[in-house]
Amino acid sequence: MNHPSFVSPDLIRQRFSKAMSDMYREEVPLYGALMELVEKTNRHVLDSDPLVAQQLNDTGEIERLDLERHGAIRVGTAAELATLARLFAVMGMQPVGYYDLTPAGVPVHSTAFRAVHETALQVSPFRVFTSLLRLELIEDLELRAFAQSVLDKRSIFTPIALKLIERAETQGGLTEQEAETFVEQALETFRWHHSATVTAEQYQKLSAQHRLIADVVAFKGPHINHLTPRTLDIDIVQAQMPAHGITPKAVIEGPPRRRCPILLRQTSFKALDEPVAFTDQARTRGSHSARFGEIEQRGAALTPKGRALYDRLLNAARDELKDFPNEANAERYNTLMAQHFSEFPDTYEGMRRQELAYFRYFVTEKGLAAAELKTLPLEELVSGGYLRVEPLVYDDFLPVSAAGIFQSNLGDAAQTHYGVHSNQHAFEKALGRPTIDELGLYAETQRRSIEQCFTVLNG
Ligand code: OOG
Ligand code: NI
């Protein structure tokens, strides 16, 4: 029940996303430069491509575009993950999807906290890619026990944040004053700390095991490691990054450039080396790199059939490349991707007819004016121009892309081989609840939009 004096969780999320962006802009100046480049590019696309502008206007996505971003964090224990789930729930964010990163040599598994309903996403599509370290993958038992003991000692939430999470749970929401304090206090969990919680030698040992292990274990909390704005043309941004003093990774992750974008394309630039103080040092003598920059372009959400086709074509291109994409083979990789993906229909109507993507349906002026439509089937309403169709934007992540982003930021030394399997069950046990299947969410949104059309036409 939504109490009248409670602030809507969607607005708390919107405010939190803004507060996070302000904090990150202050902490990482390059983020500000990236934001400016993305804003400029988006304005250029909206001015020069009336179709894209119209599409964003029609779906209302234009309103969320400037607000749109995702962040990423990594936590160390089940208890931290479970409390994070409760913290995000206060902002209407739920764990969507399960991503196993071990095949790529990264010892974590992950989910994305985000809003799940289209009206909530419209207010704020803010998402946080959240990874849990798999301590069981530290082979050295002594080091594993050490890592565990360091993690067990820390508390990543402020006492006031914990109290407000509890209050939101028991009273069913937060008042204006409480919401304001909650945003302030929740932000503290994601802040960067210049002092580590271990000695320089301990840090080296953790880092030698895996750089990511040091990143999670050696600090007071899960500092936000990037904040990613959404661009309307990632190729332009990728090409212009060097002129802005930013060096992007060699290839753009995800599908190749298309007329009708699908899923998610991402690029990033390397983590910065930042000064830190270890516990046996008086001043910041050491350094650690964790924070990087990333941008993304989002396209249509795919159905299970579309996703299977995407996975098949991506795997075929990568198999033929016979290596991880890198600087040396980037051009060949792009050629192979374009070749293989020519099999994927590149019109929205083609994708819709083959049920490769999810769509939203809208009643047109013509549909509103016509009274005799009640009995027409959906396809005839579309072909008769009574309904208009727009692709549903993909709000999630891609495991192969995420692996590529992790790797380009951790360096080649991070390509460990783990002989383990994904363990969604263990992840959900740590989380304290099941993750939500993202495909089901898109199917529901599509179904609701069709239902609404029929309500309007029959009303
Ligand atoms: C997360 C990397 C994955 C994405 O957008 O796929 C990611 C991390 O480095 O913690 O951010
Ligand atoms: Ni990311």
- Domains of the chain, CATH where assigned: 9-299+396-427 (3.10.180.80)
- End-to-end Cα spacing for the chain: 28
| CB count in 10 Å sphere of residue 328 | 10
Relative to the CA of 108, which ligand 1 atom is closest? 10
CA angle 123, 306, 392 (to 5 degrees): 20
Q: From the CB of 268, is ligand 1 less than 6 Å away?
A: no
pTM of the model: 0.95
Q: Which-ligand-closest: CA of 74? A: 1
Residue with tokens 């299977």, as numbered in its chain:
308
Q: Give me the half-sphere count of Cα atoms (radius 13 Å) on the Cβ side of residue 404.
A: 24
What is the per-residue pLDDT for 230?
92
Q: Within the chain, which residues score under 50 in pLDDT?
A: 413-414
Q: Which residues contact 232 (CB under 8 A, 6 or more apart)?
A: 41, 42, 45, 46, 49, 52, 65, 297
CA angle 138, 141, 143 (to 5 degrees): 70
Relative to the CA of 409, which ligand 1 atom is closest? 9
Q: From the CB of 24, is ligand 1 less than 6 Å away?
A: no
Relative to the CA of 292, which ligand 1 atom is closest? 9
Q: What separation in Å is there between the alpha carbon of 97 and the centre of ligand 1?
A: 14
What is the per-residue pLDDT for 32?
86
Report the run of H or E that residue 133 belongs to, with start and end: strand 127-133
Order across the sheet with 226-229: list the strands: 94-100, 108-114, 127-133, 69-75, 226-229
Q: Give me the half-sphere count of Cα atoms (radius 13 Å) on the Cβ side of residue 192.
A: 20
Q: Is 78 helix (H, G, I), strand (E, B) or coil?
A: helix
Q: What separation in Å is there between the alpha carbon of 406 and the centre of ligand 1?
A: 6
C-alpha 84/C-alpha 73 separation (Å) is 11
Q: From the CB of 72, is ligand 1 less than 6 Å away?
A: yes
C-alpha 257/C-alpha 178 separation (Å) is 45
pLDDT tens for 20-44 read: 999 998 888 888 888 889 999 999 9
Q: Which-ligand-closest: CA of 215? A: 1
Q: Give the type of residue at 93.
A: M
What is the per-residue pLDDT for 1?
52
Q: Which-ligand-closest: CA of 264? A: 1
Q: Is 274 helix (H, G, I), strand (E, B) or coil?
A: strand
Enumerate the H helices of 28-117 as residue ranges: 29-48, 50-59, 61-65, 78-90
Taking phi over 0 as left and psi of -120 to 50 as alpha, with beta for the rest, 350 belongs to: alpha
Q: Is 156 helix (H, G, I), strand (E, B) or coil?
A: coil
What is the per-residue pLDDT for 422?
75
Phi, psi of 237 (to 5 degrees): -65, -45
Q: What separation in Å is there between the alpha carbon of 13 and the centre of ligand 1?
A: 20
What is the per-residue pLDDT for 416?
65
Q: From the CB of 21, is ligand 1 less than 6 Å away?
A: no
Q: Which residues contact 220 (CB under 8 A, 6 or more apart)?
A: 154, 156, 193, 195, 197
Minimum CA distance residue for ligand 1 atom 1? 72
Indicate the burial class of 314 (C-beta count within 10 angstroms; 0-12, 13-18, 19 or more): buried
Q: Which residues contact 221 (CB under 8 A, 6 or more apart)?
A: 154, 156, 188, 189, 190, 191, 193
Residues in the chain: 459
